[in-house]
Structure 1
Amino acid sequence: MAKITLAAFGDSLTEGYGLPAYSSLPAQLERWLLEEGFHVEINNFGLSGETSADGLFRLADVIESGPDAAYIEFGANDCFQLMDPEQTKANLARMVEAFQEAGIPVLLLGFKPMNFTPQSYSSEFKKIFAEVADKFKVPLYPDLTKGIGEKPEYYQPDGVHPNSEGVTVMVSNMFPEFKAFLESIPE
């Protein structure tokens, strides 16, 4: 199997805010994939505090790095700032489209609003990831924080960023989707 480079493109949940580098989502995911026999290198393009609009400014650099595949993980900060879900959706759509135009397969990671998010906003926000995935025919892992929910034992003291154990649960839950995604990439 040829080596696959995967660009992990996102915000603090990808960067690994507050965690040692080896505990970040990309680092843990890479270890799981290597143990499963994938010849993969994951490059961490996560940057804390970024919204989907901020991500658009860095998109060209990520594409120019020449990855074989990418995941897109934006939306948490958009949600916390109650940004217009239609704008977030448009930003995500532009990211997916740009990767596709460059011939780079994409996996989209969705974010479900936390309990403190206003219900009317939350219901609109939840739809955007599936709509983008459907429009561009890309795989979607709909809930990045599945399995950790809002359980305090899986979070750092800020209650927003997962701790190392929380990231491990996230990786465990999303692993089958990543495995299928990488297996779908032509050599």
Structure 2
Amino acid sequence: MAKITLAAFGDSLTEGFGLPAYSSLPAQLERKLLEEGLHVEINNFGLSGDTSADGLFRLADVIESGPDAAYIEFGANDCFQLVDPEQTKANLSRMVEAFQEAGIPVLLLGFKPMNFTPQSYSSEFKRIFTEVAEKFKIPLYPSLTYGIGEEPQYYQPDGVHPNSEGVEVMIENMFPAFKSFLESVST
């Protein structure tokens, strides 16, 4: 398989807030993929604090970097700020459209609201990722933090950002989705 460059496009969960660079989600994911025989280079386009609207402002730079594929990971900050889910959905849709127009396959990573999120907002927010993935016929990994839930041992002291062990658990769980996605990109 030829080398695939993957743009990791997201917020602090992608950037690796509070972690050394080698412990970030993209760095750990790249190592796991390489160990499993997938020839991949992941470029980290994560930026702490970004909402999906902020991501739209940076989208052109990511596309211009010329990746073979990308993942989109936005929504956590939208959720914390209670941004209208329809606005988040529209922003994610515009990102997916732009990648598709550039011929760049996309994997969407969903975000499950944390327990302190108001229930009415939470139920509406959870649907946006599935709706975007279905609309654009792209693969979806529904919950980035699957496997770590809100277990304190997997988080930094802020209770929001995963620690290195938390990221490791996340990678183990999402690995099959990434392997399948990258194999489809390489064919």
TM-score, L = length of structure 1: 0.99
| CA displacement at 1:186 relative to structure 2 | 3.8
User: 1:178 is paired with a residue of what secondary structure?
Assistant: helix
Which residue identity is paired with 2:141? Y
Which residue identity is paired with 1:120? S
| Count of residue pairs brought into register by the alignment | 187
Cα distance in 2 for partners of 1:2, 1:148 equals 33
Structural mapping, 1:116-127, within 5 Å = 116-127=116-127
Give unmatched runs, 5+ long, in structure 1: none
User: 2:104 is paired with a residue of what secondary structure?
Assistant: coil
Structural mapping, 1:92-107, within 5 Å = 92-107=92-107
Cα distance in 2 for partners of 1:69, 1:181 equals 9
Q: Which residue of 2 aligns with 1:57?
A: 57
Which residue identity is paired with 1:115? N
Cα distance in 2 for partners of 1:98, 1:137 equals 14
**1:167 paired to 2:167:** yes
| CA displacement at 1:122 relative to structure 2 | 0.1
Residues 2 and 186 of structure 2 are in contact (CA less than 8 Å); yes or no, is this contact kept in structure 1? no
Cα distance in 1 for partners of 2:170, 2:39 equals 21
**1:155 paired to 2:155:** yes
TM-score, L = length of structure 2: 0.99
| CA displacement at 1:30 relative to structure 2 | 0.1
Per-residue displacement from partner, 1:101-142 (whole Å, max 9, x unpaired)? Answer: 000000000000000000000000000000000000000000
Residues 4 and 186 of structure 2 are in contact (CA less than 8 Å); yes or no, is this contact kept in structure 1? no
The percentage of counterpart residues that share the same residue type is: 88
Structural mapping, 1:22-171, within 5 Å = 22-171=22-171
Cα distance in 2 for partners of 1:153, 1:171 equals 16
Cα distance in 1 for partners of 2:8, 2:140 equals 15
